[in-house]
Chains A and B, each alone.
Chain A
Amino acid sequence: MSYQGFGALFPKKEMLGFLVLAIILAVILPLTLDIFRLNLVGKYLTYAFVAVGLVLCWGYGGILSLGQGVFFGLGGYAMAMFLKLEASDPESTKIQSTPGIPDFMDWNQLTELPFFWEPFHSFGFTLAAIILLPCIFGYIIGVAMFKRRVGGVYFAIITQALAAILTILIIGQQGYTGGVNGMTDLRTLHGFDIRTDSAKYFFYFLCVALLFACLFAAQFIRKSKLGRLLVAMRDKEDRVRFSGYDVANFKIFVFCIGGVFAAIGGAMFTLQVGFMSPTLVGIVPSIEMVIFCAVGGRLSIIGAVYGALIVNAAKTSFSESFPELWLFAMGGLFIAVVMAFPNGLAGLYNTYAAPKVDALFAKVFSKKPAVAAAPPPPATPLVNKPVATKTETPVIPQGALHE
């Protein structure tokens, strides 16, 4: 990016990345996959939301959260509560001792809807909650942690504890939450049956559209001064502080953004998969989300999407054939990322494929010297070199990721 002018939001080369991703997700996959597989891709894409948020938080801001499942769960449960209420109309629940409340409440001897469930009758409230709940929650955590300068490994551990706490809370309060089974048997959204093939197509494309909205938002943040400040903070936090910035506010902001992205992903998960359960919000899924991000490349929002897709696809096919081997494969994959390609797939692409693509471009556009003559600057200088940050954690050997 040249320092002259405003610096376009989408330099040509990055535009290409978005375009290729859009064609793959919106054209190639829907045309080549049957609806069952496409629905699976849609499910994988819901994790891409989380991974993109992690690129901003972790890759750019150096804030490693091992509790993104919490935000995924907030969005997913908010959507599930709305769908569950719609599925629990008095007509279809008339065999219960208290008709009109979700079945699991009836099983747990609840006789009326808890007060905090009431607003989820409203779809508008539910949508607002999917955005605002993670914001509020992220803000509270952010203020409590970042204003006191808790960071690095301590922050990672605390977020992991939050994921554990949320799981325990959901499982323990099964009368209010559906417990370990989660919220199942979700049927319609405003009378629109979410289990049909046409609904699955619709939600798939909605998911892709929302993912691109998040990608554009992330791109805007990356390219703004805030994006550069995040990189600066990761590098020399004190220098940023003594340049007149309240560092904590920037961390809180990016943590909230990551949370909102994850919550949107969670809501789309509920819509496409048709249930929400505590196994999707706990420690293990939260760490998996970090792996999606690491495999795709912590510094590339597009890479994060591919990371989520590829790791999840591998997970599905692996666990179909060798269910007991998957965890080993996952561990192996993570070690491979740490040892061999610390900047993930995006790093590999930038090192090996990007020069060839550039050469090809130069050829194609050779009639326009302005494009061809320009020496290909690295898309982001960050991706091409190991990055040193201060945050280290024993859980995810982040230091090793940089070397």
Chain B
Amino acid sequence: MSSNTDFVLAVEGLTVSFDGFKAVNDLTFYVDENEIRVIIGPNGAGKTTVLDLICGRTKATDGSIKFRNRELTKLREHEIVKAGVGRKFQNPSIYGDLTVFENLEISFPRGRSVFGALAFKRDEEVISKVHEVANMIFLGDQLDRQAELLSHGQKQWLEIGMLLMQDPDLLMLDEPVAGMSVGERQQTAELLRSIIKDRSVIVIEHDMQFVAQIADKVTVLHQGKILAEGSVDKVKNDPKVIEVYLGH
């Protein structure tokens, strides 16, 4: 359908319709190696749907999504994960009944089959990886704590940590700083800057200050279509974007 490219992610002609309503309409964009792409747009613009489509949660009606030239639209969710795509949900999605350690351990990319999970051993490699990630996400001293008891911000970090355990080539974050305090936002921005080395990241975010801190390139979605694309400054001064999203 589409030809091979050098991009990490090539989304071409992507369309999804729910009972005739086109939530995403003929969308085309490309993400470069080691790029941080931020997607912004008003509510209902289709931002989360785009992530859902890439990670396989929603099936595309039309179009193609190529990750390192591999078609994702036909793969199942866990196969997409194995291909190297990780996704963080909007609401912190963690396992409240397990400890922080166990939460991170589950995302360690080994023993993912039924019998693999039965035979899984918590060896040095796993333990040191969990500790390494836990320290990155500021939860190094909380490993034995039940995840349910963490604060909202810590839960967000924990989910980011779970993605780091997977070590994906493409990381997708849906509003990673929503509901965080100012201090936590600052820490999260640092965290994101430290984890984006050697991988591409797609972030959905509303906080324009935060966007300006991290983005290489911004895509503005509106009614399932791209309204504008480019650097933060370019997008900020685009009259169409100001009209529908940023406001005067």
Binding site for B on A (CB under 8 A): 2-7, 220-221, 224-226, 228-229, 231-232, 234-236, 238-247, 249-250, 253, 381-382, 385, 387-388
Q: Which residues of B contact A3 (CB under 8 A)?
A: 99, 101-102, 122, 127, 130, 143-144
Q: Are B98 and A246 in contact (CB under 8 A)?
A: no
Given A221-B118, A226-B118, A381-B146; A244-B97 close (CB under 8 Å): no
For chain B, residues 68 to 118, give those with C-beta under 8 angstroms from any C-beta of chain A. 76-78, 81-82, 86-87, 89, 93-99, 101-103, 105-107, 109, 111-114, 117-118
Cα A334 to Cα B162 with chains together (Å): 39
Q: Are A245 and B78 in contact (CB under 8 A)?
A: yes
| In the complex, B7 has a CB within 8 A of chain A | no
Q: Are A239 and B89 in contact (CB under 8 A)?
A: yes
Given A224-B118, A250-B117; A243-B99 close (CB under 8 Å): no
Q: A-facing mask of B193-229, CB < 8 A → 1, else 0?
A: 0000000000000000000000000000000000000
Cα A352 to Cα B130 with chains together (Å): 35
Q: Which residues of A contact B99 (CB under 8 A)?
A: 3, 381
Q: Which residues of B contact A250 (CB under 8 A)?
A: 114, 117
Cα A7 to Cα B106 with chains together (Å): 15
| In the complex, B241 has a CB within 8 A of chain A | no
CB distance from B181 to the nearest CB of A (A): 24
Cα A239 to Cα B86 with chains together (Å): 10
| In the complex, B36 has a CB within 8 A of chain A | no
CB distance from A200 to the nearest CB of B (A): 36
Q: Are B117 and A225 in contact (CB under 8 A)?
A: yes
22 residue pairs bridging A and B, Cβ less than 8 Å apart: A3-B130, A3-B144, A6-B121, A220-B118, A224-B119, A225-B106, A225-B111, A226-B118, A238-B57, A239-B93, A241-B78, A242-B78, A242-B81, A243-B81, A243-B106, A244-B107, A244-B112, A245-B78, A246-B113, A250-B114, A385-B97, A387-B97
Q: Which residues of B contact A220 (CB under 8 A)?
A: 118
Cα A244 to Cα B93 with chains together (Å): 15
Binding site for A on B (CB under 8 A): 55, 57, 76-78, 81-82, 86-87, 89, 93-99, 101-103, 105-107, 109, 111-114, 117-122, 127, 130, 143-144, 146, 148, 159, 162, 166
Q: Which of A232, A241, A244, A249 contacts B95 (CB 8 A)?
A: A232
Question: Nearest residue in A to B148 (C-beta to C-beta)?
Answer: A385
Cα A246 to Cα B56 with chains together (Å): 13
Q: Are B97 and A231 in contact (CB under 8 A)?
A: yes
A224-B119, A242-B57 known, 18 other contacts, Cβ within 8 Å: A2-B144, A3-B101, A3-B102, A3-B127, A221-B118, A229-B117, A232-B95, A235-B97, A235-B98, A236-B93, A239-B89, A239-B159, A241-B78, A243-B162, A243-B166, A244-B78, A245-B112, A385-B97
CB distance from B142 to the nearest CB of A (A): 11
Q: Are A238 and B143 in contact (CB under 8 A)?
A: no
Q: Describe A's contact surface by its main secondary structure.
A: helix
Question: Nearest residue in B to A389 (C-beta to C-beta)?
Answer: B97
Q: Which residues of A contact B148 (CB under 8 A)?
A: 385
CB distance from A232 to the nearest CB of B (A): 4
Cα A239 to Cα B91 with chains together (Å): 11
Q: Are A229 and B143 in contact (CB under 8 A)?
A: no
Cα A381 to Cα B146 with chains together (Å): 8
Q: Which residues of A contact B162 (CB under 8 A)?
A: 239, 243
Cα A5 to Cα B112 with chains together (Å): 21
CB distance from A202 to the nearest CB of B (A): 33
Given A238-B89, A240-B106; A224-B117 close (CB under 8 Å): yes
Q: Are B76 and A246 in contact (CB under 8 A)?
A: yes
Q: Are A244 and B82 in contact (CB under 8 A)?
A: yes
Q: Which residues of A contact B89 (CB under 8 A)?
A: 238-239, 242
Q: Which residues of B contact A246 (CB under 8 A)?
A: 76, 78, 112-113
Q: Which residues of A contact B55 (CB under 8 A)?
A: 242
Given A3-B144, A225-B111, A232-B106; A242-B87 close (CB under 8 Å): yes
Cα A238 to Cα B165 with chains together (Å): 17
Q: Are B112 and A226 in contact (CB under 8 A)?
A: no
Given A4-B127, A241-B77, A243-B106; A226-B114 close (CB under 8 Å): yes
Cα A222 to Cα B102 with chains together (Å): 13
Q: Which of A224, A231, A249 contacts B113 (CB 8 A)?
A: A249
Q: Which residues of A contact B144 (CB under 8 A)?
A: 2-3
Which of A238, A242, A249 has its CB near the most chain B CB atoms (within 10 A)? A242
Cα A242 to Cα B81 with chains together (Å): 6
Q: Are B98 and A225 in contact (CB under 8 A)?
A: no
Q: Are A388 and B122 in contact (CB under 8 A)?
A: no
Cα A221 to Cα B166 with chains together (Å): 24
Q: Are B120 and A225 in contact (CB under 8 A)?
A: yes
Q: Which residues of B contact A6 (CB under 8 A)?
A: 121-122
